[in-house]
Structure 1
Amino acid sequence: MRHQNKNNNLGRNKSHRKALLTNLAISLIKYKRIKTTFAKAKALKKFIEPIITRGKKQDTHSMRIVFKKLNNKTAVLELFKKISKHNLKRKGGYTRIIKLGKRLGDFSEMAIMELV
């Protein structure tokens, strides 16, 4: 039973889901905008918003915690040097999801996720 379990499993086990969200987060930080399915975008929003909030703190401890989640040095440096400076006065809502419609192959809902 999944009582009060609100995370979306995305049809994957825990390690695969963690790797998927980590790679999507790195791509979002690197390219500032990615195209993915709507379900993955919603799951990524819950994953990356606390990371961006942690990036605003600008100390070594926060950098180590973010590196533990992302495991990519260039993405962490990009987050702390550029992205966090844009969001210093923002209290949340660092990402935006724009629906695109259905994909032709399997009719799944597509979306663009971008940093605000």
Structure 2
Amino acid sequence: MPKPKKGARLGGSASHQKAILANLATSLFEHGRIQTTEAKAKFLRPYAEKLVTKAKAGSLADRREVLKVIRNKDVVHALFAEIGPFYADRNGCYTRIVKTMPRKGDNAPMAIIELVKEKTVTSEASRATRAAASKKAAATKAEAPADTEAAEDEN
């Protein structure tokens, strides 16, 4: 009889791992950032990003798929109404993992996983910003020698 392959499990059993990931994802979408162990954060990242991708699509079938995992309807509503549309123009990388100090009691490596809130800046916009800044700097340099010459004439 074929047996399922076992990989790394967070809680011991597959069902416990599923429950842990569902609860972590619910907390992440509710609060925007959570502190957990590094291993749990690494397991949570692809799990949460798939849920955000479903929220971006926004269909009824996707909403029902997400409701199977996240049982809190308020969090699912926020995911589909706010978080999904916020990342509409972004392809992946919705979360960030930042390593922090180890936990005091057992020295477990800790990390903060958070939703990325910054919009990405396109290269065209940054190029235009750089050009405007260089023009402004050139204009201030041109005015500065004229001001010093006028000050010398007064003396």
TM-score by length of 2: 0.68
Count of residue correspondences: 112
Tell which deviates more after alignment, 8-17 or 85-94.
8-17
Give the equivalent residue in structure 1 for 2:152: none
The structure-2 alpha-carbon separation of the partners of 1:62 and 1:15, relative to structure 1 and needing over 3 Å to count, comes to same
Give the equivalent residue in structure 1 for 2:106: 106
* Structure showing greater Rg: 2
Q: Which has the higher helix share?
A: 2
CA deviation after TM superposition for structure 1 residue 71, in Å: 1.9
Q: SS in structure 2 opposite 1:101?
A: coil
Q: Which has the higher strand share?
A: 1
Q: Runs of 5+ in structure 2 lacking a partner? A: 117-155
Q: SS in structure 1 opposite 2:61?
A: helix
Moved beyond 2 Å, runs of 4+: none
Give the equivalent residue in structure 2 for 1:55: 55
CA deviation after TM superposition for structure 1 residue 12, in Å: 1.7
The residue correspondences of 1:34-49 to structure 2 (distance < 5 A) are 34-49=34-49
Q: SS in structure 2 opposite 1:68?
A: helix
Q: SS in structure 1 opposite 2:57?
A: coil
Conserved? CA contact 2:11–2:20, under 8 Å: no
How far apart in 1 are the matches of 2:30 and 2:89? Answer: 22
Q: SS in structure 2 opposite 1:106?
A: coil
Conserved? CA contact 1:27–1:34, under 8 Å: yes
CA RMSD of the aligned region, Å? 1.4
Question: 1:70-111 CA deviation, whole Å, 9 max, x = no partner?
Answer: 122111101000101110011001100000021121011000
Taking only the aligned residue pairs, the percentage that are identical comes to 44
Confirm whether residue 70 of structure 1 aligns to residue 70 of structure 2: yes
